[in-house]
Amino acid sequence: MPIKINHLSYTYMKKTPNEVKALDDVSLEIPDKKITAIIGHTGSGKSTLIQTLNGLLTPTEGTVEVGDFVITNNPKKNKKIKELRKHISIVFQFPEYQLFDETVEKDVAFGPKNYGFKEEEALKKAHEALAKVGIDESFYKRSPFELSGGEKRRVAIAGIIAIDPDILILDEPTAGLDPHGSNIILNLISELNKSGKTIIIVTHDMNIVMNYSDHVIVLSDGKLAFEGVSSDLFNGDVSNYSIEIPKLFQFCKLLEEKGAKIEISKIRTIDDLFNQLKERK
């Protein structure tokens, strides 16, 4: 299901003295079955944008098209939003907002149960999803509210995986995770994508953008500032976006300047660089 956003604006607390225009005439496309990274400075509108994608926030102006679903500012036209949410799920920036049940396994089983699976099947799906995020059986009966920040985040991600949507949106999924926890999530994201899922990931980490994304969207003050591939972003003028160019990209540029014949646009990891250098000897 490709996503098409047309002239989308979103204003919080419209027509009050506190109104904030969080998105301002944004038009873009999110390709199907790819990994898209959404980046931009704090307050640039990233979390607002993703919440418009499954109808949690309805556009102030413009439209959001997800496959055949169209979300507009006319509530009468947004009847199929419950159906849409089977296909597109969000893991929020702050997992505490998402967790609510008394045990970890019940929390993760809630989604499948809500979509019609029997208790036993829903629990089975929950256990499978928890295993995928590296949460073992000893956590099943614990309260999700008594977990560490990183554990909460992983349980919240499992809650989405258990629903098996076509599109998974993850708002800063590695924030607060140690390198081990972070790698589990990033490998999982990569695996989910290989199995045909569309992934949208909000992040401040440019290494994730370089290593994993097929498509990058940069927001700045609620406006679309860049849309394209990461190598074009890092090659261009990034002085306005407060982003740090990954060391690997900088190193590749240096090699290129010194005469190494490498194709930077095809390099995501050190292995890719190594293989290119090996082939060219």
Q: Which is nearer to ligand ATP, 46 or 153 (CB)?
A: 46
Nearer CB in complex with ligand ATP: 98/276:
98
Q: How far apart are CA 107 and CA 99, in angstroms?
A: 7
Q: Which of 184, 179, 234 lies closest to 37 in space, CA to CA? A: 234
Interaction of residue 95 with ligand ATP, rule CB under 6 A: no
Residue 35 near residue 189 (C-beta atoms within 8 A): yes
Residue type, 52: T
- Closest separation between CB of residue 163 and ligand ATP, Å? 23
Q: How far is the CB of 49 from Mg ion (least distance, A)?
A: 9
Q: What is the DSSP letter of 195?
A: T
Instruction: Tell me the β-bridge partners of 29.
Output: 4
Site residues (CB under 6 A) for ligand ATP, limited to 4-43 = 12-13, 20, 22, 40, 42-43
Distance from the Cα of residue 202 to its chain's centroid: 5
Q: Which two tokens stand for residue 140?
A: 């099943």
Among 11, 36, 44, 47, binds Mg ion (CB under 5 A): 47
Report whether 52 contacts 64 (CB < 8 A). Answer: yes
The nearer residue to Mg ion, 18 or 42, going by C-beta atoms, is 42
70 near ligand ATP (CB under 6 A): no
Choose, by CB under 6 A, the member of 48, 52, 182, 230 that binds ligand ATP.
Answer: 48
Query: Applying CB under 6 A, which residues contact ligand ATP?
Result: 12-13, 20, 22, 40, 42-48, 93
